[in-house]
Structure 1
Amino acid sequence: MSTLLVVGGSGFIGREICRLAVRDGHDVRSVSRRGRPPTDAPWADAVSWTSADLFRPDAWRDRLVGVDVVVHSVGITEEVPGDGVTFERLNGDSAVITALESERAGVETFVFLSSAMKPPGARSAYLTAKRRAEAAIAGLDIALVTLRLGPVYGADQPHFSALVNTGLRLVDSVTPVADRLGEARPLPVEVVARAAYRSALDPDEPLLDVADIRRAGR
């Protein structure tokens, strides 16, 4: 069994990754701003939750001790610059800091949930920050897996309205239409989480695009 640290484990995708790892008997830890998510699901009791500011590694560095795999699943689709919530910081800098700390701690594998596209209406900095993080961590002495996601839908999706979430689900269910979207194809959160989780345990491919994620997450 492995020890996994899911950074952003209380979030939309992170929670599902934690659930899968707990199901399979792994030692699962999470570091996120909110700590434990608001769920009474039994799997959550098996996760060691830590609430900490990712930009203060001294507050959570000890959580990396003995960890085999780190999954970075932090990301925002809307900015609040006055609170320091920007694409540059959350989508980019947080991944670079986490990867550097992981390398220093001797972690074997780092999985980064990146993006294939920016959400409609978002600044181009959304995607620029993800690509900058990819480039910054590429040379680290750690096995690296990057997943470039399209739009992700599912229950409790916090970034889209219920109408948009339903629309993404419908588009994905019509295969001839969805296949034409390429990297913009919607993906269910369960598929994304399974692809990230399996890549964490078996880092075969360094970069997974949307088609790869669909295949790995089946």
Structure 2
Amino acid sequence: MRTEEEATEAEIVLRAAAPEDAPAVAALVESAYRGESSRAGWTTEADLLDGRRTDAAAVLKIIEDPGSRVLLVERDGAPVACCQLERRDDAAYFGMFAVRPTLQGGGVGRAVLAAAEHEARTRWGSREMHMHVISVRAELIAWYERRGYRPTGERVAFPYDNERFGVPRRSDLEFVVLSKPLLHSPEARPPAQAQAQPAT
């Protein structure tokens, strides 16, 4: 029998999150980035930021925005991974990416990212995917670079005056902008199991 840590891309099935999923999605994001539970994975920001990463109201607003999508992976009825896509002209923005800490490093995140790229290409015709990553997260930036993302040279100031994004524990935080072309080719398609399914 497979353990959670042995999850592979072939097991991943995504669907679009519905409004009633907002509290569970917010809890998943919190568990991956904030507090002691996040230290079970490698995406934790617990040493960089205190406070909340998001809440149910903010997630619901994204879900209900016609220009955005929240993609969700469930196992046994509980969310184990999610991400946000936002349409921005001929590009898409990728954010709110979270994988349950005990599943990180097992291929789930890679499959979710591939499915999100496919969704942006096929649903909106997006030519590029953009994202913001905290500049001191060198390991995370390297993970994205191995998947074809490159720094654009653009940097975005961290919103120190807005606790909605967390309470910084250091004074040198900023975002780097990463970008990847989304190629319209058969080779760019993820496995069928990783393609997003509509909300039911």
TM-score (norm 1): 0.33
Q: With CA pairs under 8 Å and 6+ residues apart, which has the higher RCO, 1 or 2?
A: 2
